[in-house]
Amino acid sequence: MSQSATLRRINLSRLNFRRDARKRDNTSAAVSTNYRIQAYAILVAWIVLFLIFSYLLPEVFPTWRNVTSIANQKAATVLLTLGLVFALSAGEFDLSIGGAVSLGAAIPAWLATDHHVPLIAGVFIALICAVIFGGINGLLSVKAKIPSLVVTLGTGTALGGIVSGIAGNTTMSVQSFSLVALAKHRIFGFYSAFWLMLVIAFIAWYVLEHTPVGRQLFFVGQGREVARLAGIRTNAYRYYALIFSSVLASLAGSMVLTTAGAAQSSIGKSYVLPAFAAAFLGSTAIRPGRFNVWGTVVAVYFLETGITGLQLKGFEVWITDVFYGLALVTGVLVATVASELRSRSSD
């Protein structure tokens, strides 16, 4: 073979290599752009939604009073959903959060009103019970190898019945207790409970995003067997994720009690769908493709902004279920489509 022919082949190989490199760079840039668009799409949608209702309801919607009301009312929902994020990140579905919310709200109220136990002591008792309850979920799901979806559906229903049997079905008021005044103390218009939620959210974000615990938790959720082979204690992460989910759900119930000043034993049922809708919708934002803290926070308040605006426009309470139901389906659909697109792009 002549030297010129060899040089031509070398140059052709170089050209092909450069062309393939440019294609890879273009593909990587396109994936990065799509990722950024998806990450902040819900923030843009939230701003647009707020502007629309501000235009339609200029006298009531864009007011500071309405903004702080939305923030204060949904602090407990954010807290509840953060606990759920830990369970979902580990690959576990915790449907018992409704029962845990009822536990955290009704048991302290019952102890305080019927047995004159200090309200703060009642909250701690409920949290201890939540730890035990989460441990039972973990044992049944991890040790007995029953799917968490089945376990938590059964245990959550049972816990709700036990709370109703203990506390009854009447509305229990705790307005006179000092803990209620503390939780509703306003700082820049926001309840102390709201600021507490933000502190817990920041801690949860740091743990999930900046510690080995958080990275390994996500690894467990993405592939349990692969994580186990990599030396990660998968059962321990699943077990403690379910406990943490129950504890934060109970704390969210106590927050509902102290900010509302009253509670019923069946209060937790209405919180399950909003929490799952916000968790899955939040997984499409900020850090698309994974359950994350700030995406969850944005999703909760995005949903509440839409619901509040529609109710102020005259829609009845049924719109809440419609909004949350569609949000859950949309969140799962977007997450699924985005995952398929990312896998195609990587190929």
Does residue 27 lie in a domain region?
no
Terminal CA-CA length for the chain: 37
Residue 28 pLDDT: 47
Does residue 129 lie in a domain region?
yes
Say how far apart CA 298 and CA 281 lie, in whole Å.
Answer: 9
Residue 326 pLDDT: 83
Contact between 80 and 245 under an 8 Å Cβ cutoff? The reply is no
Residue 144 pLDDT: 92
Looking at the structure of the chain, the number of domains it has is 1
CATH number of the CATH domain containing 156: 1.10.3470
Does residue 24 lie in a domain region?
no
Domain extent for 169: 39-340
Contact between 115 and 174 under an 8 Å Cβ cutoff? The reply is no
Say how far apart CA 180 and CA 191 lie, in whole Å.
Answer: 11
Does residue 3 lie in a domain region?
no
- pTM of the predicted model as reported, rounded to 2 decimal places: 0.86
Contact between 79 and 72 under an 8 Å Cβ cutoff? The reply is no
Dihedral over alpha carbons 15, 18, 22, 27 (to 10 degrees): 100
Residue 316 pLDDT: 80
Residue 322 pLDDT: 84
Does residue 19 lie in a domain region?
no
- List per-residue pLDDT tens for the chain, 347 residues long: 555 655 555 555 555 545 554 554 444 444 456 666 777 888 888 999 999 999 999 999 999 999 999 999 999 999 999 999 999 999 999 999 999 999 999 999 999 999 999 999 999 999 999 999 999 999 999 999 999 999 999 999 999 999 999 999 889 999 989 999 999 999 999 999 999 999 999 999 999 999 999 999 999 998 888 898 888 999 999 999 999 999 999 999 999 999 999 999 999 999 999 999 999 999 888 888 889 999 999 999 999 999 999 999 888 878 888 878 888 887 777 767 666 655 565 55
Q: What are the CA-CA distances from residue 342 to residues 59, 289, 345 (Å)?
A: 44, 9, 5
Residue 327 pLDDT: 82
Q: Which two tokens stand for residue 346?
A: 């990587």
Q: Is 52 helix (H, G, I), strand (E, B) or coil?
A: helix
